[in-house]
Amino acid sequence: MNGNQDVAIQRSASHRGYRFNRMELAGSLGDLGTLLPLSIGMILINGLNPLGLFAGVGLFYIFSGLYFNVTTPVEPMKVIGAYAIATGISASQIQASSLWIFIVLMIIGGTGIITPIGRSIPKPVIRGVQLSTGVLLVSQGIKLVLGTSTFQALRQAAEPFLNVQAVGPVPIGLVIGTLLGILTLLLLDNRRLPAAIVVVGAGIGTGLLLGTGEGLRQIQFGLYLPEWLPFGIPSAGDFTFALLVLVLPQIPMTLGNAVVANADLSRQYFPDDGHRVTYRSLCISMALASLISFFLGGMPMCHGAGGLASRYRFGARTAGSNLIIGTIFIALTLFLGNHLMGVIYLLPMSALGILLIFAGGQLSLTLLDMQTRKELFVPILVLGITLATNLAAGFLVGIAVAYALKSEKLSV
């Protein structure tokens, strides 16, 4: 799809309000590739409560859609999630980080400090954050397909919830991922048979056919409500650890990706309807979501630019997509409780990987509006630093270099 077609779609989507159709459903599934692997990892490894976690996710989807009035992503905070899964920290420490995130983002957003900060960040740096996030998503998606992600390594299986791990010498995830990738390429712009619905539907079908059935046979329908503070109040040590080890490394990435890059992308996609997606409102939205997570025993959540790119690429154009997926999660938690994991386990990791790969590709292509050598150099530098260290470092160094390159005495 070329740039002119994208602009035409953006304009035609304006002032449509809420839509509830197959394209909105397909788009609503777009950021599951980011959401589910980290969520499942923190449930199985760190002991987070599935009912509280996914109830918080569902509420965040719904209230974000109602307020922002455009499709809005919901994702785990990746620095916190990745560190938690890799080190096996306690649920109480993750819970403490949620309260710290609430406090920090509420101060930054509530006082309005984020607005001048966001406006001072050069456009090439924003593109660098988007490019870096996109490349990281593609890389993580490929790992999920190959079975080499952190979560899969800890479970010692490429597809932990499938009975079949290989077809001859070929890992089963690679087989599933290849087939679903080809289907996605064929159907990416098909409005009658949207690609994301096919990927998720085929993935669930595979899980039903080849799955271990873990948790599926224990499903009991009922009426379940989240427990308030399921882990109690975190200790002073938990709060200290969470601030120093989890929150401080997370904040620069959140401001760069979930606030500045996300707001910029939303303005591109929704120039008429996205006026509520501001730096300040994004901070406050994520702060309130993390406060809900603190009380429900969930995880800190954010609005990532990668999730927005994915939702848009797979067809979401209105906040109806948020209400669809939010309602699905709320229904699963209300009627299945913690047994909902039996349904979540049906979706192979490789299917989630395919969603991530196309999400990352879409986000990376925002680089195409950089025109001069200096403009292109900054995103490439941010990407290089990100791959060598982390996105927060790339973001901060990119700002310094972008301002330095404004001098006519410097060239690249």
Q: What angle do CA 140, 144, 148 make, to 5 degrees?
A: 90
83: number of Cβ within 10 Å: 17
Q: What does the pLDDT look like over 143-185, one tens digit per residue?
A: 999 999 888 888 888 899 999 999 889 999 999 999 999 999 9
Query: Residue 408 has what pLDDT?
Result: 86
Cβ proximity of 39 and 303 under 8 Å = no
Nearest alpha carbon to residue 260 among 78, 118, 110, 105? 118
Structure tokens of 246? 């989890």
pTM of model > 0.85: yes
E-strand ranges in 168-302 read: 170-171, 301-302
Counting residues of the chain whose pLDDT is more than 70, the rounded percentage is 96
Nearest alpha carbon to residue 177 among 211, 143, 154? 143
Cβ proximity of 249 and 392 under 8 Å = yes
* CA count, 13 A, side-chain hemisphere, 287: 17
Query: Residue 12 has what pLDDT?
Result: 40
Query: Residue 411 has what pLDDT?
Result: 85
Contacts made by residues 267-274, CB under 8 angstroms, sequence distance 24+: 268/10, 268/366, 269/10, 269/70, 269/308, 269/312, 270/10, 270/13, 270/14, 270/70, 271/10, 271/11, 271/14, 272/11, 272/14, 272/15, 273/13, 273/14, 273/15, 273/69, 273/70, 274/68, 274/69, 274/70
Query: Residue 16 has what pLDDT?
Result: 54
Q: Between the CA atoms of 240, 241, 244 and 246, what dihedral angle is there, to the nearest 10 degrees?
A: -130
pLDDT along the chain (412 residues), means of 10: 43 60 94 90 92 96 95 92 89 96 96 92 91 91 92 88 91 95 93 92 94 84 93 96 92 90 93 93 97 96 91 93 97 94 93 91 89 93 92 90 91 84
